[in-house]
């Protein structure tokens, strides 16, 4: 599949991508994140740019110093260019323990000229298996693009350059656990997964292309920070203009964008995989 140029996108998508790719204020990476593994392969440069590298010996990763319980989180990423087959760049929120919650972006590398696969998943109380996968409508290695997670008590929305690609609604009313009680840190890693990442493991990592490098910039978090068991949002988390995201939902225009992405760029949806769920789809699949 060849990448589509923005000239072929509907006008509203082009306009929204232009707005969504601009961030005016970014946090200092030195204050927000720690490189957690990789023996020097992860680097923070001038507080404004973070890079992760992978070679045959090791990958690398980082995590946020803060823990969050609900938030609107943006990060700009530029993915591994060229032949990235076998590599995975993971960017996600996760709590700890055996019944953890997690909200995942994973970028599965591919051969030069073939598109990345954007893999998404949501875990609640240790249960995942809620995969949706997408191609992107641009080359994610040519420039930085904004990948966002909106997480509030009603829904989780995954967005790319401001365009929603997935919504996971709170379905506790029909017995589906929802991530709402466990604070989560932001994590990211670049690692070798050539046993499964590209064409089910058929295409292996070409180590002659190493080191592989992914870059990060313009981190923003409008979020409830949890420290010593207390939330920065206090007891009135649903009030105030600065916390409008806590009750944010998709308006008609964003719902139209979501349908456009899912119609044209979704390549896997667990809610459509009848072979995987012969006894019936998971209950949340019934929620439009």
The whole-angstrom separation of Cα 54 and Cα 107 is 14
Q: Considering the candidates 67, 106, 167, 284, report the single residue annotated as catalytic.
A: 106
67 is catalytic: no
The whole-angstrom separation of Cα 135 and Cα 219 is 23
Structure tokens at 122: 């949501």
225, 88 contact by CB (below 8 A): no
The whole-angstrom separation of Cα 90 and Cα 214 is 10
The whole-angstrom separation of Cα 54 and Cα 198 is 16
3-class secondary structure, 42: strand
248 is catalytic: no
The whole-angstrom separation of Cα 197 and Cα 88 is 7
Could you tell me which residues come within 8 angstroms of residue 125 by beta carbon, excluding any fewer than 6 positions away? 99, 100, 101, 177
Q: Considering the candidates 32, 48, 67, 102, report the single residue annotated as catalytic.
A: 102
Residue 191: name the closest of 61, 78, 95 by CA: 61
93, 187 contact by CB (below 8 A): yes
Task: For residue 267, report the phi and psi dihedrals to the nearest 5 degrees.
Answer: -115, -10
Catalytic positions are 102, 106
């Amino acid at each position: 599949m060849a990448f589509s140029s923005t000239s072929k996108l509907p006008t509203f998508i082009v306009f929204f991508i232009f707005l969504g790719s601009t961030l005016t204020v970014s946090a200092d990476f030195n204050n927000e994140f720690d490189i957690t593994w990789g023996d020097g392969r992860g680097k923070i440069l001038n507080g404004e740019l973070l890079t992760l590298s992978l070679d045959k010996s090791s990958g690398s990763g980082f995590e946020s110093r803060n823990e969050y319980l609900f938030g609107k989180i943006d990060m700009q990423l530029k993915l591994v260019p060229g032949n990235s087959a076998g590599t995975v760049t993971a960017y996600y929120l996760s709590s700890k323990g055996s019944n953890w919650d997690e909200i995942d972006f994973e970028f599965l590398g591919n051969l030069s000229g073939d598109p990345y696969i954007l893999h998404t998943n949501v875990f609640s109380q240790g249960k995942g298996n809620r995969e949706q996968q997408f191609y992107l409508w641009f080359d994610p290695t040519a420039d930085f693009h904004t990948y966002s997670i909106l997480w509030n008590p009603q829904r989780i929305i995954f967005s790319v350059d401001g365009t929603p690609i997935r919504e996971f609604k709170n379905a506790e009313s029909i017995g589906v656990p929802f991530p709402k009680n466990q604070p989560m840190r932001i994590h990211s890693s670049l690692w070798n997964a050539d046993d499964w990442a590209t064409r089910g493991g058929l295409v292996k990592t070409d180590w002659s292309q190493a080191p592989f490098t992914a870059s990060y910039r313009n981190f923003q978090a409008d979020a409830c920070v949890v420290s010593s068991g207390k939330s920065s949002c206090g007891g009135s988390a649903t009030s105030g203009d600065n916390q409008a995201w806590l009750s944010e939902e998709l308006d008609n225009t964003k719902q139209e964008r979501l349908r456009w992405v899912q119609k044209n760029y979704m390549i896997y949806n667990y809610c459509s995989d009848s072979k995987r769920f012969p006894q019936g789809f998971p209950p949340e699949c019934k929620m439009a």
